[in-house]
Amino acid sequence: MPNIKDVAKKAGVGIATVSRVINDSGYVKKETREKVEKVIMEIEYVPNEIARSMTLQKNKIVAFILPNSTHLFFGELSYFVEQELFEHGYKLMICNSSEQIAKEIIYLEMLKNNRVDAVILLTNNDVESLIDKNRPVVSFDRRFEGVPYVASDNYKGGVMAAEKLLELGCKKFMFIGDDAQGDASSVITEVTNRRVGFNDCLNEHGVSDIVNIEYPLGDYIVSADYVRELMSEYKDVDGIFAISDAAAAAVIEEIELSGKRVPEDVKVIGFDGGRSFLNLGKKISSIGQSPELIAKAICSTILNLCNNKPVYDQIIPVYFFGGDTT
Amino acid sequence: MPNIKDVAKKAGVGIATVSRVINDSGYVKKETREKVEKVIMEIEYVPNEIARSMTLQKNKIVAFILPNSTHLFFGELSYFVEQELFEHGYKLMICNSSEQIAKEIIYLEMLKNNRVDAVILLTNNDVESLIDKNRPVVSFDRRFEGVPYVASDNYKGGVMAAEKLLELGCKKFMFIGDDAQGDASSVITEVTNRRVGFNDCLNEHGVSDIVNIEYPLGDYIVSADYVRELMSEYKDVDGIFAISDAAAAAVIEEIELSGKRVPEDVKVIGFDGGRSFLNLGKKISSIGQSPELIAKAICSTILNLCNNKPVYDQIIPVYFFGGDTT
DNA sequence: TTGTAAGCGTTATCAC
DNA sequence: GTGATAACGCTTACAA
């Protein structure tokens, strides 16, 4: 591989001049520039990005640490994050933690050892002490002291779900799904606000007897057995708000197996937008969050941090998606 | 950020010794090692990976160029690739091309400019001339001269689908889905073998009147309108093999809208394994390919290339997943 | 306008 | 066992 010296020698100029040409910086006489460009073509010179990173002490790579990119919403989010970063010349490193703090530690270390310029953090573990606060970090759906965050308007989402179920005439309400996941389940995330908003709104409407199920979702999936048990225990529930579409799907399947009909007997609202991959059945009614808007917010924060500009926490609006389960 | 010199100075040793300690290479006296390790702790020294990459001329980052990680199978594949690479200390850069050759070019350039050590290439575009054949590159489901590849046993998959439909008594067969996508649709991929295997097997069983529909799938999705048209044109078809589960889903939906029943009137087999995210309806019968096995094969090839070991093309077995559509 | 030279933070060679 | 020192390939003062 030819390097900048080879170009300089062959073009009969100094390496600084070559550098100016390839970076289009500083003054270079037109003829000199053309001469250099010709040589670059001839010997197929490509600047070495590692060396460039070495000098600049940054490499325009952003790490996205998340539980599992196979989860539809996370996958969509990472897709849009990549699109957005690409527009600005940044590359995306994908880091599936599987909620294991050990993996998160290794990936967070990349900030300190210069492997990446910035980190987007999506975790339920308490990794606050592991975060290098002097580096660009953005957190999604989770607050860490001194780390800017982006979140959907989860509280509003909970309120919207409650209002919708009330409007449809439901009498007995249930919330299902625990927001505390991962190795350290004591942590409170923004996602908690889904339940809080749901309960607050119902309370305001005079409903106080709400069934709140906090079921730890292994890998974001609800176990069928547990749901079955639940449904037989609370037979009179007719309005359910699930913490995610995945949880809602499990609930709906069990309800229908038990002989009840959705939405005739029980109405169910999920969270994430009701999108699916290859759904041949009912579409889930759901509180939607926009991966595209969230990605834009996350990336603008990351880019501002990388350029030493001020950043702000951002709450992204949610919307109601009317599917077949309400 | 402290560097290796700071450690050396504070520990009263040379930088070479510090390097030996952090890399656990060469001989270091026990006391010296402990002294150095103590200083490393004290000043919280972390080796700079960019500098390390500079010296080593490699950075243990692999790029995965693929159309769209939101597509379930691709998402699963990238998930397992990341897991596998992680085990070996490699990181994964995700590069959604959206089938745009322009993006592929930019991402492929990362091999030449040392941004990444290796590339996993999943494309339908003819980018052969853009590949740096001197660097580690593995291709999935697509052959490029001089580039090792991994593919599912697509031909066998086609045969299995045909056998299954024959076994179930189907009389009139259809294959739907075009394998040539992206900017350059003239390209032939391994995926073509799904159709070839399907047709060959049927021919061997004396069936020659096969409806082969080559419909260009924009972003891997089949248009409903087109399927509707198709179904009304070929009313007697009772056995369909679709190039992907996504295509199968579109077909099934239209068939049922037209009043026919699946699988009673028409049997449909897809390709990819019938997995879905949040499917509340029928499960698609499908020829399954294992993202985990494929990821393992891809990564072993990549790692061998990175370590100058010999590599071989690999064909991964497929299996039949019996869902609700046969 | 242009060239020289000083870093950037490692690893690795080679004396001691 | 250990420590200078030379790469690695680039950007960027600073001089000319």
Residue A173 identity (one-letter amino acid): F
Contacts of A75 in chain B (CB under 8 A): 69-70, 75
Q: Which residue on chain B is closest to A262 by alpha carbon?
A: B280
Whether B281 and B175 map to the same domain: the answer is yes
Q: Tell me the pLDDT of chain B averaged across its residues.
A: 92
Whether A199 and A169 map to the same domain: the answer is yes
Which residue from B53, B113, B280 is facing A282, i.e. has the nearest CB? B280
Protein CB footprint (7 Å) on chain D nucleotides? 1-5, 7-14
Which of A133-142, A247-256, B214-223 bottoms out in mean pLDDT, i.e. has the lowest? Answer: B214-223
B257 vs B160 pLDDT, higher one: B160
Over residues B91-139, the pLDDT tens digits come to 999 999 998 999 999 999 999 999 999 999 999 888 999 999 999 999 9
Mean pLDDT on A132-160 = 95
Whether B111 and B129 map to the same domain: the answer is yes
- Say yes or no for a CB contact (<8 Å) between B78 and A95: no
Instruction: Kindly state whether residue A168 falls inside one of the protein's structural domains.
Output: yes
Instruction: Kindly state whether residue B323 falls inside one of the protein's structural domains.
Output: no
Whether A169 and A276 map to the same domain: the answer is yes
Instruction: Kindly state whether residue B325 falls inside one of the protein's structural domains.
Output: no
Confidence of residue B222 (pLDDT cuts 50, 70, 90): low
Nearest nucleotide to the CA of B28, by C1', is D1
Confidence of residue B219 (pLDDT cuts 50, 70, 90): low
Whether B75 and B88 map to the same domain: the answer is yes
Instruction: Kindly state whether residue B313 falls inside one of the protein's structural domains.
Output: yes
Range of the structural domain that residue A285 is part of: 154-290
Confidence of residue B220 (pLDDT cuts 50, 70, 90): low
Over residues B7-48, the pLDDT tens digits come to 999 999 999 999 999 999 889 999 999 999 999 999 999 999
Three-state SS for A29?
coil
A218 vs B29 pLDDT, higher one: B29
Nearest nucleotide to the CA of B3, by C1', is C9
| B203–chain A Cβ distance below 8 A for any pair | no
Whether A257 and A208 map to the same domain: the answer is yes
Element (H, E) at A62: strand A61-66
First to last CA, chain B: 63
Instruction: Kindly state whether residue A137 falls inside one of the protein's structural domains.
Output: yes
pLDDT of A91 > 80? The answer is yes
Query: Which of A119, A277, A292, A326 to mutate against chain B (most B CBs within 10 Å)?
Result: A277
DSSP secondary structure code for residue A52 in this structure: H
Whether B266 and B308 map to the same domain: the answer is no
Confidence of residue A220 (pLDDT cuts 50, 70, 90): low
Query: Above pLDDT 70, what percent of chain A?
Result: 94
Confidence of residue B196 (pLDDT cuts 50, 70, 90): very high
Q: Which residue on chain A is closest to B134 by alpha carbon?
A: A1
CATH number at residue B138: 3.40.50.2300
The whole-number pLDDT of residue A186 equals 54
The whole-number pLDDT of residue B232 equals 83
Whether A92 and A144 map to the same domain: the answer is yes
Whether A184 and A265 map to the same domain: the answer is yes
**Residue B120 forms beta bridges with which residues?**
B64, B138
Over residues B131-151, the pLDDT tens digits come to 999 999 999 999 999 999 999
Give me the total of CB pairs closer than 8 Å, taking one residue from chain A and one from chain B. 147
Contacts of B61 in chain A (CB under 8 A): 61, 93
Which of A69-83, B22-36, B60-74, B220-234 bottoms out in mean pLDDT, i.e. has the lowest? Answer: B220-234
- Lay out the sheet containing B91-96: strands in order across: A314-316, A149-152, A137-140, A118-121, A61-66, A91-96, B91-96, B61-66, B118-121, B137-140, B149-152, B314-316
The whole-number pLDDT of residue B230 equals 80
pLDDT of A163 > 70? The answer is yes
Which residue from B59, B71, B82 is facing A50, i.e. has the nearest CB? B59
DSSP secondary structure code for residue A234 in this structure: -
Cis omega before residue B2 (within 30°)? no
**Dist CA A98 CA A82 (whole Å):** 20
Confidence of residue A79 (pLDDT cuts 50, 70, 90): very high
- Say yes or no for a CB contact (<8 Å) between A49 and B113: yes
Q: Which residue on chain B is closest to A112 by alpha carbon?
A: B46
Hey, which residues 241-280 in chain A have their CB within 8 Å of chain B? 245-246, 249, 252-253, 276-280
Instruction: Kindly state whether residue A323 falls inside one of the protein's structural domains.
Output: no
pLDDT of A179 > 80? The answer is no
The whole-number pLDDT of residue A229 equals 82
Three-state SS for A155?
helix
Contacts of B286 in chain A (CB under 8 A): none
Hey, which residues 171-200 in chain A have their CB within 8 Å of chain B? none
Over residues B35-91, the pLDDT tens digits come to 999 999 999 999 999 999 999 999 999 999 999 999 999 999 999 999 999 999 999
pLDDT of B181 > 60? The answer is no
The whole-number pLDDT of residue A278 equals 87
Which of A21-35, A210-224, B167-181, B276-290 bottoms out in mean pLDDT, i.e. has the lowest? Answer: A210-224
Mean pLDDT on B208-234 = 76
B271 vs B223 pLDDT, higher one: B271
Locate the DSSP E strands across A198-311: 211-213, 239-242, 267-272, 286-289
Nearest nucleotide to the CA of B17, by C1', is D2
Protein residues in reach of strand D (CB < 7 A) = A 1, 3-5, 15-16, 19-20, 22-23, 25, 45, 47-48, 51-52, 54-56; B 12-17, 20, 26-29, 31-33, 54-55, 57
Number of domains forming the structure of chain B: 3
CATH number at residue A26: 1.10.260.40
Contacts of A57 in chain B (CB under 8 A): 50
Confidence of residue B187 (pLDDT cuts 50, 70, 90): low
Q: Tell me the pLDDT of chain A averaged across its residues.
A: 92
Contacts of A103 in chain B (CB under 8 A): 86
Whether B126 and B247 map to the same domain: the answer is no
Yes or no: say if B281 and B256 are a contact pair by the CB < 8 Å rule. no
Which residue from B71, B93, B281 is facing A92, i.e. has the nearest CB? B93
Whether A196 and A283 map to the same domain: the answer is yes
- B 12-51 residues, CB < 7 A, strand C: 15-16, 19, 22-23, 25-26, 45-48, 50-51
Instruction: Kindly state whether residue A182 falls inside one of the protein's structural domains.
Output: yes
The whole-number pLDDT of residue A140 equals 96
pLDDT of A319 > 80? The answer is yes
Confidence of residue A56 (pLDDT cuts 50, 70, 90): very high
- Nearest-Cα distance to chain B for A172, in Å, is 24
- Say yes or no for a CB contact (<8 Å) between A279 and B284: no
Contacts of B53 in chain A (CB under 8 A): 50, 53
The whole-number pLDDT of residue A226 equals 77
Protein CB footprint (7 Å) on chain C nucleotides? 1-5, 7-14
SS (H, E, C) chain B: CCCHHHHHHHHCCCHHHHHHHHHCCCCCCHHHHHHHHHHHHHCCCCCCHHHHHHHHCCCCEEEEEECCCCCHHHHHHHHHHHHHHHHCCCEEEEEECCCCHHHHHHHHHHHHCCCCCEEEECCCCCCHHHCCCCCCEEEECCCECCECEEEECHHHHHHHHHHHHHHCCCCCEEEECCCCCCCCCCCCCCCHHHHHHHHHHHHHCCCCCCEEECCCCECCECCHHHHHHHHHHCCCCCEEEECCHHHHHHHHHHHHHCCCCCCCCCEEEEEECCCCECCCCCCCEEEEECHHHHHHHHHHHHHHHHCCCCCCCEEECEEEECCCCC
**Dist CA B157 CA A228 (whole Å):** 37
How many Cα atoms sit within 13 Å of B281 on the Cβ side? Answer: 17
Instruction: Kindly state whether residue A325 falls inside one of the protein's structural domains.
Output: no
Whether B26 and B68 map to the same domain: the answer is no
Query: Above pLDDT 70, what percent of chain B?
Result: 94
The whole-number pLDDT of residue B229 equals 82
